[in-house]
Amino acid sequence: MFRDDELASDDASFVRPFVITQGRTVGDAGDIPLETLVVARTSSEGLAPDHAAVVTACSGDPVSVMEIAMHLDIQLGVARVLVADLTASEHVEQYDTASSESSAIVKRLLEGLRAL
């Protein structure tokens, strides 16, 4: 366990991932691939802060679950659960995955992963 003096000032608001997902590893809409493209269908009004952040992140152009995790600085598993919950509640919509697209998109995803 960490002592208070061991935490950096920007880590003071850290919430464990299992708290955000309520201990779940799969969201309400099932298991979602990392490359799934997501776009917001509604506003983030009235949602819990974590869910609202996901809706805000994907309002505009479709973004992958992987990009959502990166932009929000959350674990991939957490992003998958949040996106699945929002899909089930119809706050976001999923599009074809990059693996079903041209090989150029898949190559870009792989390059992006390697750059991390």
One digit per residue, the tens of pLDDT, for the chain of length 116 reads 334 454 444 554 556 665 566 656 566 556 778 888 999 998 878 888 888 999 999 888 899 999 999 998 888 888 988 999 898 889 999 886 645 556 677 778 788 888 87
Residue 41, token pair as written in the block: 């269908």
3/50 Cα distance (integer angstroms): 26
* Full residue range of the structural domain in which residue 97 is found: 4-115
pTM over 0.75: no
Burial of residue 114 (CB within 10 Å: 0-12, 13-18, 19+) is exposed
**Residue partners of 105: CB distance under 8 A and separation at least 6:** 98
Name the residue among 102, 44, 30 with its Cα closest to residue 72: 44
Total of domains in the chain: 1
